[in-house]
Amino acid sequence: MTVKLKNAKVYEYQKQFKVLFWIALLVSYIFAVLPHDIAPSIPEVSDKAHHVFAFVVLALLLRLGYHINYWYALLSLVAYGVLIEFSQIYAVNRFAEYKDVIADTIGTFIGLSLYKYIRKVI
């Protein structure tokens, strides 16, 4: 009975997490390919910190919104990070960097680890 109550708390908001995931995915892609002169100014922090933060959020929302395997979530988000870098090759004033994919992967690991922790606590 306790296990069901724990699961109910997380899955009660599953639809909202799905919507938030897709919004975050779309917004992150738009910010990634917008030219620097058009993109909104974000506080001066390392570019890699932005990548890590974005992918922490995406990983959390993906796992909270969908019942998918850890490895599938990891591979999906890393592939999304690679897609962003390939898109930046064709974007104005943007440059693809392998270090961004590394930052995306680190953010994904952190987000998936946070999800595991949240599941244990809730």
Looking at the chain, how many residues does it have?
122
> CA 95 from chain center: how many Å?
20
Q: Residues 39-82: pLDDT tens digits?
A: 666 667 777 888 999 999 999 999 999 989 999 999 999 999 99
The verdict on residue 114 lying in a domain is yes
The verdict on residue 42 lying in a domain is no
The verdict on residue 43 lying in a domain is no
The verdict on residue 86 lying in a domain is yes
Domain range holding 56? 2-37+48-121
Mutual orientation of helices 14-33 and 70-90 as an angle, nearest 10°? 30
Q: What is the pTM of this model?
A: 0.84
